[in-house]
Amino acid sequence: MTEKLRRYEDWARACMHVRCGLCRENCPAYGQMKLDSYSAKGKVTMLYHWLEGSLEPSEKMAERVFACTSCGLCDIACGYPQSEAIQEMKIALFDAGIFPSAQYSRISEHTRRAGNPYGETPETGQQLLKAIPEASAENAEYLLFFGCTEIYRGAPQRESVLKILRSAGIPFKTPSENICCGSPVYRVGDLEQATIQAKSVQSMVKNIGIDQVIASCSGCYRTLSHDYSTLLRTDPGFRTIHTVQLIDRLIKEGTIRMRRMNAKVTYHDPCHLGRHSGIYEEPREILRSIPGVSFVEMEWNRKFSRCCGAGGGLRSARGEDAIEIASRRVKEAEETGASLLVTACPFCLRNLEDGAKSIGSSIKVCAIESLVANLIE
Ligand code: SF4
Ligand code: SF4
C-alpha cells in the first residue's frame, strides 16, 4: 500500500455515499464488461475497502483495475480525477506483483528487455531510424520523435510525417536510437521503468541539443509534455508539440496547401491528445481547411469523446475487448454519414481499423498525417 493511495480516501468515501454512478456512462470498460466493478465507481469502492483493510488486493481486483483504458472520461462525468486514483491503484498492484494476466506484465518485461513494449528486436528499430536521412541532419530546430508504434507497427504514418515536414522545409532531425517514451509501461503501473524511460529520453534530447520535440503519437505527446514533469520531478528541459499543431500552423501560414477532396469526414479525438491535453481544435481546423471536405462531428466529441479502447494496455492484453469497443466508436462514426474517420494517434488508428474490419464497415480509417501527405500540393 502506497501513501499516495491515501490521498484518494476522501474521494472514495464521498463516492461510496453519493452513489450517483454518472461515471458509468460511456466508460469503455463498464460498457464492455457490463459489471459495476469495472466502472470508476466500482474501482474506487474497491480502493475504499482496500484502504479500510476490509479487502485484500487480489488478481480479481487487478483484473477490474487493469481493464481501465486510462481514457479519463470518468473524470469529466464525476468532477473528481478518478482516473488518477485508478492509475495509482495500478502502480500499487504492480509493486505488489499482482497482475490479472501475463499479458499485462509482458508489456513491462518487453520494455525492460528489448526497450519497446512489443518485444521487437531493438536492432530492427535502430536500423530503420539510422536509414532516415535526417538522422544525420545538422543545425536542426526540431527533433522528430517517433514512438514504438510508429517504428514497429506504423510505416505509412511515419512516412507521411516525414513527407509533410520535408515539403514544408522544416529543419528537423530524427534520433538514431529508438527509446520508448515510457507511456505503455506507465499505464500498466510500472512506475520504475517509466521513470527509466523518461530519464533516457531526456538525456537523448539533451545530448542532441534540440529543445523542440515533435511527436505524432498522442500517447508519446501526452507522456513527454505532461507526465515527464511528474516522472522526472522536474521540467524535462524541452517543449513538445504534436504534429497537428505544427500542420495547422503551416496551413495557416500558407506554407502547405492541399488539393481538393470531395468527402464527408469525421474525427476521433484520441484520449491522450484531447481530454488529457486539451488539443481539440487544431485537427478540426486542418480537416475544415481541405477544399471539398464536409466535416461532421460524432455525437460524442471533444472532452466527451468515447475511447477507442486501445489504451491502458487493453489492446495488448485483451485484444478482442479492445476491438469490440473500437467497433462501437466506428458505428458512431458511421451514423454521421462520413466516408472517412480520421484520427491523430497511430494506436487509435490501428484499433479503429480493426474495429471497422470486425463489423465489415465501409468507412475508411485514416491518420490525419496520411490524409494531409496525400493531398499536399
Ligand atoms: S461519478 Fe464519481 S462520485 Fe459518482 S459514482 Fe462515479 S466515481 Fe463515484
Ligand atoms: S478512465 Fe476510462 S476506462 Fe478507466 S474507469 Fe474511467 S471511464 Fe472507465
Q: Does 240 lie in the same domain as 112?
A: yes
Asked, for residue 235, whether it belongs to a domain, the answer is: yes
Q: Does 267 lie in the same domain as 197?
A: no
pLDDT value of position 1: 57
What's the 43 CA to ligand 2 centre distance in angstroms? 10
Please count the other Cβ atoms lying within 10 Å of the Cβ belonging to residue 129: 17
Q: Could you say which of 49, 77, 100 is where a domain stops?
A: 100
pLDDT averaged over every residue in the chain:
95
Q: Which residues contact 55 (CB under 8 A, 6 or more apart)?
A: 46, 49, 61
Tell me which ligand sits closest to the C-alpha of residue 69.
Answer: 2
Q: Which residues contact 38 (CB under 8 A, 6 or more apart)?
A: 27, 29, 30, 32, 64, 67, 68
Asked, for residue 252, whether it belongs to a domain, the answer is: no
Asked, for residue 78, whether it belongs to a domain, the answer is: yes
Instruction: Evaluate if residue 19 carries a pLDDT over 80.
Output: no
145, β-bridge pairs: 215
What's the rounded Cα separation, in Å, for the pair 228 and 240? 11
Asked, for residue 342, whether it belongs to a domain, the answer is: yes
Q: Does 220 lie in the same domain as 128?
A: yes
Helix H or strand E encompassing 27? none
**What is the per-residue pLDDT across 174-186, written as a single tens digit (0 to 9) for each?**
999 999 999 999 9
- Which range marks the domain in which residue 30 is found? 3-100
**What is the per-residue pLDDT across 187-208, written as a single tens digit (0 to 9) for each?**
999 999 999 999 999 999 999 9
Q: Quote the pTM value.
A: 0.95
Instruction: Evaluate if residue 331 carries a pLDDT over 70.
Output: yes
Phi, psi of 344 (to 5 degrees): -130, 40
Q: Does 179 lie in the same domain as 76?
A: no
Instruction: Evaluate if residue 154 carries a pLDDT over 80.
Output: no
Q: Does 263 lie in the same domain as 191?
A: no
Tell me which ligand sits closest to the C-alpha of residue 86.
Answer: 2
Q: Does 112 lie in the same domain as 95?
A: no
Name the residue with the closest Cα to ligand 1, atom 7.
41
Q: Does 121 lie in the same domain as 66?
A: no
* Residue 29, ligand 2, Cβ within 6 A: yes
Residue 263: pLDDT band with limits 50, 70, 90: very high
* Residue 67, ligand 1, Cβ within 6 A: no
Q: Does 82 lie in the same domain as 117?
A: no
**What is the per-residue pLDDT across 216-250, written as a single tens digit (0 to 9) for each?**
999 999 999 999 999 999 999 999 999 999 999 99
Kindly state the average pLDDT of the residues 319-343: 98
Contact 215, 221 (CB under 8 A): yes
Q: Does 264 lie in the same domain as 317?
A: yes
Among 2, 33, 4, 8, CA closest to 314: 33
Q: Does 143 lie in the same domain as 95?
A: no
Kindly state the average pLDDT of the residues 83-105: 93
* Residue 41, ligand 1, Cβ within 6 A: yes
Q: Could you say which of 45, 70, 100 is where a domain stops?
A: 100
